[in-house]
Structure 1
Amino acid sequence: MLPKGANLQKIREGKRTYAITPHLPGGFIKPEVMQKYVDVSKKYGGIMKLTSAQRIMITGLKAEDIEAIWEDLGMQPALGFANCVRSVKICPGNAFCKRGKQDSIKLGLELDKRYIKKEMPSRIKLGVSACPNSCAESYVKDVGVIGTDAGWDIYVGGSAGAHPRLADKLIEGLNYDDTLRIIEIVMRYYQKHADIERIGQFIDRIGWEKFKTDILAEFYGEKSAVVEPKVPQTEAGEKIVPLPGGLTEGSLVFGDAITADSVISDIIRVYPQTVPVFRSFGMGCLGCPSSAGEPVTQAAEIHGLNLKELLAALNKVVPANK
């Protein structure tokens, strides 16, 4: 079990070190809070690291110290689901930048308040940039917002990582309230219809025209074009079927046993019922780009797990092995 509010960082010679990353909306921090970070890092031998999500991570920590560290910081552990809204990156906006077209801080903090740590089919990142320079990397975020003289342009489906994808422009020139409204529609649609896949993967699977048509139909108050997909069943009536789409770099097919060489993304695509098993072993980030080409043996090694125990647990829920 992971220490509460911590992530496993390294395993060296059998010794594990952990990191905590308290939530800092927009990357704003008061001097007295920063001082607590410094004091805790010194006391417990940690290293402070600025992250790409505008937070401060303290790494190199021991499991037995984690609870005391949160107490010393005077903060509640950063809780949330592995597959959730991970970050809302915000540029300085027109409050601090001469090139800013819109108030990215106001919009970004509101999005952070509404969505941070909210459970999603996969990990989700948002970016709010006050001008087309996109300093918050909005073009490679799952939901990106970019300010112009005419208002906010909305982009969806971007991602970096092992399988980078530029976001598609959904709509442009929105005011503040309409921007919040269409993002809410995107989030609900994604939650309802996606598998364990990033928004970009989801769009590529169902098609951009369908995604855009359905979102804009609800935004403009028209009749929704969403067609509920039929869930195929096995001969026994079970709804255990391969999931369509998603990143895949392996060759696993329905009916195969899961082996040490089976790729994580293939396993959850073909056998979605294995998701709770992975999570019970502390492997929650199943939407992570790394899982696309990562075999079970490598994942077990990285997470410090017993490979035989993990494989046995996974194959217990595979129909062919019942």
Structure 2
Amino acid sequence: MAQIAANLQRIKNGQHRYAITPRIPAGFIQPDQLQKYIDVANKFGAVLKLTGSQRIMITNLKAEDVDAAWAMLGMEPAYSTSNRVRSVKICPGTTFCKRAKQDSVHLGMQLERKYISKEMPSKMKMGVSGCLNSCAESAMKDVGVIGGVDGWDVYAGGSGGAHPRIGDLIAHVETEKEVLDLVDRIVEYYKANAQIERMGEFIDRIGLDTFKAAVLGDLADNAVSPMGAVSSKPAAAEPVVKLPGQGNDPLVEPDRLSAGQPITENTIIRDIVDTYPNVVPVLQSIGMGCLGCPSSTAEPLWQAAEIHGVNVYDLVEKLETARKGA
């Protein structure tokens, strides 16, 4: 029997049904291509399913319809290979997201093009996130990259499934090129030395220190700051923020809020929510629906107001009115 370019789904009443899941780099799809998915579903009575990997699965296909479905999509049939690099999961980054610190789309697409479907000792998933919110769940990927204000953190060994594992922080780097170089070292070392095991299992078997020593090598003495190593860069200062319009004026430390104290434009969002939960509706009224996200932990009110396009001083007045119960 010829190989079918699809994954066999549940067999029901003796009937075999198949699914195809074409790659959609970074989850971006043009309207004309999306229409092709709809046309396939309508023609063959298929079902469209959004996956966790930013793709669209076309399922409930008969075996004889699979090749025709690929043709309608304008794609070559893709035969399933388990032990390979899957599509790279990418958050919107600075291209679209108001909270992003780095261009995850640009970096993620480079990784997508470089490693697309490359064979590996086991399946490999990658994720690229533009900020600590990590919407691409990058710490849960075999190779994950998370952006911050001053660069990128590179993780390895994360996975979900029956035995979930948080990835290990391998190093902090400052540029995209350094990320690409380090990821290449991680992938090549894993490919050359792993057995039929996921990245995390490989790291657990040989030891994290051994893995880091192998993939960092001479990089550790240059731009890379491996976790636990002494960095040549000066230690980061405590978080400080700048008020709107200050220009080159000295930085102002954020206000840490205690019960009874007034809210100011420099008060941290997390402190406002924890100290005065009764003012939360005011924050929500300007579109702040993610009050529990990591970004809010150190985000001052003026910055949140700027992101949401409101006047911070008007917002302070409303919050103070709500705080006082007026």
TM-score by length of 2: 0.66
Q: Which amino acid aligns with 2:177?
A: D
Residue 211 of structure 1, CA deviation = 0.4
Residue 79 of structure 1, CA deviation = 4.0
Q: Could you give the per-residue CA deviations for residues 68-99 of structure 1, whole angstroms, max 9, x where no partner exists?
A: 11111111122463200012000000111111
Name the residue aligned to 2:99.
Answer: 99
Q: Which amino acid aligns with 2:106?
A: K
Q: Give distance in 2, aligned partners of 1:172 and 1:80.
A: 35
Q: Give distance in 2, aligned partners of 1:88 and 1:31.
A: 21
Residue 6 of structure 1, CA deviation = 0.4
The 5 Å alignment of 1:25-174 reads 25-79=25-79, 81-174=81-174
**Equivalent position SS for 1:10:** coil
Q: Which amino acid aligns with 1:141?
A: K
- Residue pair 1:185, 1:219 contacting (<8 A) in 2 also: no
Greater radius of gyration (CA): 2
Q: Give distance in 2, aligned partners of 1:130 and 1:80.
A: 30
Q: Which amino acid aligns with 1:12?
A: K
Name the residue aligned to 1:23.
Answer: 23
Q: Give distance in 2, aligned partners of 1:49 and 1:200.
A: 29
- Residue pair 1:148, 1:173 contacting (<8 A) in 2 also: no
**Equivalent position SS for 2:22:** coil
Q: Give distance in 2, aligned partners of 1:57 and 1:88.
A: 16
Identical counterparts, % of pairs: 55
**Equivalent position SS for 1:11:** coil
- Residue pair 1:81, 1:118 contacting (<8 A) in 2 also: no
Deviates further, 155-164 or 168-177: 168-177
- Residue pair 2:7, 2:80 contacting (<8 A) in 1 also: no
- Residue pair 2:8, 2:16 contacting (<8 A) in 1 also: yes
Q: Which amino acid aligns with 2:123?
A: R
Q: Give distance in 2, aligned partners of 1:205 and 1:75.
A: 40
TM-score by length of 1: 0.67
Q: Could you give the per-residue CA deviations for residues 109-154 of structure 1, whole angstroms, max 9, x where no partner exists?
A: 1100001210000000000000011100001000000000111110
Q: Give distance in 2, aligned partners of 1:148 and 1:136.
A: 14
- Residue pair 1:17, 1:60 contacting (<8 A) in 2 also: yes
Residue 3 of structure 1, CA deviation = 4.6
The 5 Å alignment of 1:258-273 reads none
Q: Could you give the per-residue CA deviations for residues 18-67 of structure 1, whole angstroms, max 9, x where no partner exists?
A: 00011110111110010010011010010000100000010000001111
Name the residue aligned to 2:4.
Answer: 4
- Residue pair 1:6, 1:18 contacting (<8 A) in 2 also: yes
- Residue pair 1:150, 1:174 contacting (<8 A) in 2 also: yes
- Residue pair 2:138, 2:145 contacting (<8 A) in 1 also: yes
Q: Which amino acid aligns with 1:69?
A: A
Q: Which amino acid aligns with 2:83?
A: N
**Equivalent position SS for 2:10:** strand
Q: Could you give the per-residue CA deviations for residues 167-226 of structure 1, whole angstroms, max 9, x where no partner exists?
A: 00000133110100000000000000000000000000000110011111153589xxxx
Q: Give distance in 2, aligned partners of 1:146 and 1:173.
A: 10
- Residue pair 1:143, 1:157 contacting (<8 A) in 2 also: yes
Name the residue aligned to 2:189.
Answer: 189
Q: Which amino acid aligns with 1:164?
A: P
**Kindly tell me: are residues 66 and 218 of structure 1, through their superposed partners in 2, closer, same or farther at Cα, counting changes over 3 Å?**
farther
Residue 2 of structure 1, CA deviation = 7.0
Relative contact order, CA 8 A, sep 6+: which one is greater?
1
Flag as ranges the 4+ runs of structure 1 deviating above 4 A. Answer: none
- Residue pair 1:3, 1:66 contacting (<8 A) in 2 also: no
- Residue pair 1:20, 1:57 contacting (<8 A) in 2 also: yes
- Residue pair 1:128, 1:136 contacting (<8 A) in 2 also: yes
**Kindly tell me: are residues 2 and 195 of structure 1, through their superposed partners in 2, closer, same or farther at Cα, counting changes over 3 Å?**
farther
Q: Could you give the per-residue CA deviations for residues 246-269 of structure 1, whole angstroms, max 9, x where no partner exists?
A: xxxxxxxxxxxxxxxxxxxxxxxx
- Residue pair 2:4, 2:63 contacting (<8 A) in 1 also: no
**Kindly tell me: are residues 118 and 111 of structure 1, through their superposed partners in 2, closer, same or farther at Cα, counting changes over 3 Å?**
same
**Equivalent position SS for 1:128:** strand
Q: Which amino acid aligns with 2:68?
A: A
Q: Which amino acid aligns with 1:39?
A: D
User: RMSD of the alignment, in Å?
Assistant: 1.5
Q: Give distance in 2, aligned partners of 1:15 and 1:48.
A: 19
In the alignment, structure 1 segments of 5+ residues that lack a partner are 223-322
